[in-house]
Amino acid sequence: MKLSEEKKQELESIYQSFLYNDKILKMKEVSMHRGSNAYIHSFKVAKLAIKRALRRKKELDLNSILIASILHDYYLYDWRIERNMKKHHAKRHPFIASENAKRDFLVNDFILDIIKQHMWPYNFRLFPRTKESRIVNNSDNTVAFKEAITSKKYKSKRKDKYLNLIKTLF
């Protein structure tokens, strides 16, 4: 998919507006995948999802892919600490993230569906039905898998490197 300079700038400015948003910055406190956090994780997913979308020939809704990727894990609690969440986190967090996204940002149902469908195949009934949701789903799976196999020690040492890596979309 060809990207005009104008569109590229539009996407970069959306990305930047989330990167420094006070509410989004709270995701830094949500630890994830042994030594990573929801903030780093989500922007990594956003970067990969856009990269994959641009490799496709078909026109895709890049704005929705970008915003849904950033918000897909916007559940804002630590499931290791939160009571009753340990057991249900994997299944419930896409719905909580989607509710929080609706409360805090201007997002439409298309974006909310991508968020709700990001845990497939774990949430087997919630198959990602659009091309956009499949890209976010598989980018999340890739990033999560890589984070899960990287050691905690390595990740905490590299936190600055990761923050640097997500500074820009392109």
Contact residues: Fe ion, CB under 5 A:
73, 140
Degrees to nearest 5, angle at CA 157 with 155 and 161: 80
d(CA 100, CA 71): 9
Specify the residue, 11 or 33, whose C-beta has the smaller distance to Fe ion: 33
Distance in Å, CB of 131 to Fe ion, minimum: 19
Distance in Å, CB of 93 to Fe ion, minimum: 6
Specify the residue, 73 or 113, whose C-beta has the smaller distance to Fe ion: 73
Distance in Å, CB of 140 to Fe ion, minimum: 4
- b/e map 118-143, b = 16+ CB within 10 Å: bbbeebeebebebebbbbbbbbbbeb
Count of beta carbons in the 10 Å neighbourhood of residue 99: 15
Specify the residue, 73 or 132, whose C-beta has the smaller distance to Fe ion: 73
Distance in Å, CB of 80 to Fe ion, minimum: 15
d(CA 117, CA 94): 7
Specify the residue, 30 or 62, whose C-beta has the smaller distance to Fe ion: 30
37: β partners: 31
Residue 152, judged by CB atoms within 10 A of its CB (0-12, 13-18, 19+), counts as exposed
Specify the residue, 60 or 119, whose C-beta has the smaller distance to Fe ion: 119
d(CA 27, CA 7): 27
Distance in Å, CB of 135 to Fe ion, minimum: 13
